[in-house]
Structure 1
Amino acid sequence: MNNVDETIYNLLNHSSKSSSSQSTNSKQHYYRSIFTSNVLQNFNKNKHSHRTMGLAIIPKPDPTHPLQRRQNYIELPKIIPFIRSHRMPPIPKVNQQDNKNQIEKSSKNFIEENINKMKNSLPICPRRYIVSDRKGNKFLIDGSGLEKDFIYKKNYGKTPRYLEARKIVHEQSHCHSEDNSMIMLPPEERLSLINNLKDRYEDVFTEYQHLPLHLETISNIMKKTNLTNELVNIEHDIDFLEKHQKIFIVNNYSDINKK
């Protein structure tokens, strides 16, 4: 049996020791595309095309061939004289020349006027800008609202004229109404009104508290709504009388009620 070559172990692929040792020591092989060189070339093609710094690539002059006279001379184009397309005015006659001399010349000296204007004019202040982002975009500070220019105005903090005029008209009409048909409520009567309203509020509130918790009948529901409305109205009247110290009423209030 030992001399027989046909065994099952001969069918296996035995890798050599050298190849196994090389595979263990070498790095793992990765996939590499065939277009990598083209991609890198296109990527680096215009990468530094925006740069302008550095030495200019200009061929240096050869010392064996020095410059000659008028070697770098550039011929300028010929000057073409301007030709008018329309006719020139005719030459004036002798009589016309005499009339022309009789015309009064203006005594205004434009040169001196311009000099005085420039002396008296104020210097132009530079415009102020502010940079808004890192790309260098900017806008004017004046009129943007970032600087409080309105506090330097002459009428800053003052009441406008139209409000003052309206106040005067209102006071005049108010005084006129006071003299004719209005009278100021005395302070004692105002305090007595406030006290009476407070007493009335307590009475209504106690009546509101005597209502049952669970309202079943329509009469109880209507009573609750009437009491709540009355409480709100009394509170409003008390606030009005306590807020305003001077209250004007109609002078002939009793006569109006009689009518």
Structure 2
Amino acid sequence: MTAQCAEESIYNLLPRLQEKPVKPPRYISIFRPSVKREAEKNKTQCKTMGPAKVALPSPKNFLKKHSKEPKLPASKSFEQDSKKLPELSVPRRTDHPVMGIQSNKNFINTNAIAAITGPPKKPQPICVDGRQGDKYLLQTSGLVPKYIKKKDYGVTPKYLTRRNEEMERARKEYEAGVLEHLKKRAMKQLSDEERRSLLQGLKKNWDEANREFQCLPVKIDTVSKKLYKQKLESQMKQLEHDIDVIEKHKAIYIANE
């Protein structure tokens, strides 16, 4: 009821003036002027926004045709090049030949004597392969056995000899390894003394098994007695087989495991 009475108060019917909040004064740093001076002092043209202010080109210096093409160096005059000519060069157009030189040599007789006394010119060997006279040089035909006359013909190259030696060495090493492996796994032959002692031991075991077999009762009525009798019979049969094998063969080999 108190809240409703407060809302229905007559004083609430009058309009109230809204009080505007007073803003505090804006903060201004005391170092602001010094910062502005330092910024203007350290300011450079490259750090400003926009393009740098440069002088505009003159309208007279416009781009001309073929101005960007590469240009050849200027050719030197003939007089400058003539200074560097070797001694035995082509004669100049202004040079005159030496006149008045005569020789007493008889070139006709000299050439005739050289042709008469000189060795005769050997004709090139040719090969004719047709009745029409078709011929060709024999040296370039491949019919002349000139390669078999070389000094190194039939000689094995060095790289083949070296490779064969390496292959032979590898083969010998492999054979030696195989032989060593076979020797390790080779069977051992029993000596006469070992064979005799082995045979005596087998016979002794057979005698003991036979003695136990003879000691069995006449009536075998239980399963354990039957199994024991079968065990003795199989043991005696195996011993008899081993004794027979050892007596038949004098050389006995044992494999190395």
User: One fold, TM greater than 0.5?
Assistant: no
Q: Given the two structures, how large is their TM-score scaled by the length of structure 1?
A: 0.28
Whichever of the two has the greater Rg, that structure is 2
Q: Given the two structures, how large is their TM-score scaled by the length of structure 2?
A: 0.28
